[in-house]
Amino acid sequence: STSNRNFEGRQGALSRTHLMSPAMAAAAGIAGHFVDIREFEYKDQDQSSPKVEVTSEDEKELESAAYDHAEPVQPEDAPQDIANDELKDIPVKSDDTPAKPSSSGMKPFLTLEGISAPLDKANVDTDAIIPKQFLKTIKRTGLKKGLFYEWRFRKDDQGKDQETDFVLNVEPWREAEILVVTGDNFGCGSSREHAPWALKDFGIKSIIAPSYGDIFYNNSFKNGLLPIRLDQQIIIDKLIPIANKGGKLCVDLPNQKILDSDGNVLVDHFEIEPFRKHCLVNGLDDIGITLQKEEYISRYEALRREKYSFLEGGSKLLKFDNVPKRKAVTTTFDKVHQDW
């Protein structure tokens, strides 16, 4: 496979996956077995590599400017591009104030004090967080049963789910709101957004780990979860002892600190991008951010209807009088024609 998004069983039951570059995969496909691309014997190997010649004078000029680190020759703006620029440059009043964030179901995240649950694992992929059989829904609720399903449940003789002694099945961690992970790369694997949905539906509002899968990390913020990156040794030395006892941690997002239940500072600063912090503190998801620009959007749509009214033919916003009704096409036998 040339993709790093692999997991057990991805290529079929009991199969083995070998991760390699596209060049290695192509060479193996030609040879029918694994080969070293550096030693691959090409047909006509002594033949010089093909070259592409530039024939257009304009392309030569651009190529020369690029290789000489000069300013490239820019083509003149087309009339349509100029018109589009004018359409986008919508004037805004100087006394405009941002629209209030719309309630989109994402609550502001300020401080979180809750029970912390330990998870001593590395490379926890999204298939472990929420297995594929729970991905049929597009709703964000009802997914807590599938959270860490393979670890939390085992089938009995009748095929029914029986709880294991996994940490989230044991008191007091059933009510955990903070997940403390000791291993790297939490949330790696496929890009299913159900992973943060399942965590949030269970009650987890923040994860603390040394590192995350990029897609999971981004999806967490979009769904109101706070993933915190901390040095692994700090997690092991300061946070895991509290989590192992079922103790509470307090995550102070505005001040970017982590405290224990007595108010003692355990982590005096954790990193978070300013924009992501702003969105969490103000309860803004992508829809909320967009609706802050509602006045700009309304002005754009009004100006577009004015300048490009011919594009609005199918819009319900426009009313036309005396529009002839479309008659069903008939055959020569006066029967309604049917397009297959």
Per-residue model confidence as pLDDT tens digits over 105-141? 689 999 999 999 999 999 999 999 999 889 888 888 8
Residues 140 and 278 in one domain: yes
Of the CA atoms within 13 Å of residue 251, those in its CB half-sphere come to: 29
Which pLDDT does position 17 carry in this prediction?
A: 77
Question: Which pLDDT value is given to residue 102?
Answer: 44
How does DSSP classify residue 266? E
Q: Which of 289, 304, 334 finishes a domain?
A: 289
- Is residue 121 domain-shared with residue 31, that is, in the same domain? no
Number of separate domains in the chain = 2
Residues 306, 308, 309, CA angle at the centre, nearest 5°? Answer: 70
HEC readout, 223-239: CCCEEEECCHHHHHHHH
Q: Do both 133 and 243 map to the same domain?
A: yes
> Are 176 and 271 within one domain?
yes
Same domain, 34 and 162: no
pLDDT computed for residue 340 by the predictor: 47
Instruction: For residue 88, tell me if it sits in a domain.
Output: no
Q: Which long-range contacts (CB under 8 A, 24 or more apart) does 166-172 make?
A: 167/117, 167/118, 167/119, 168/117, 168/202, 171/246, 172/115, 172/246
pLDDT at 98: 44
Q: Are residues 130 and 215 in the same domain?
A: yes
Asked if residue 91 belongs to a domain, the reply is: no
- In this structure, are 10 and 154 located in the same domain? no
- What CATH number is attached to the domain comprising 240? 3.20.19.10
Domain range holding 2? 1-42
- DSSP lists the bridge partners of residue 207 as 179, 227
Instruction: Output the CA torsion 262→264→268→271 (10° steps).
Output: -20
Under-50 pLDDT residues of the chain: 70, 72, 92-99, 101-103, 340
Is the same domain home to 143 and 258?
yes
Q: Which of 249, 264, 289 is the last residue of a domain?
A: 289
The per-residue pLDDT for 239 is 98
Residue 80: the pLDDT is: 56
**Where does a domain end: 273, 289, 305?**
289
Q: Is residue 278 part of a domain?
A: yes
pLDDT at position 92 is 46
Q: Is residue 128 part of a domain?
A: yes
The answer to whether position 38 is within a domain reads yes
Across the chain, mean pLDDT equals 81
Considering the domain boundaries, does residue 57 fall inside one?
Answer: no
For residue 142, tell me if it sits in a domain: yes
Q: Are residues 38 and 120 in the same domain?
A: no
Tokens of 46: 């002594």
For the chain, the first-to-last Cα distance in angstroms comes to 41
Q: Is residue 274 part of a domain?
A: yes
What is the model's pLDDT at position 286?
Answer: 87
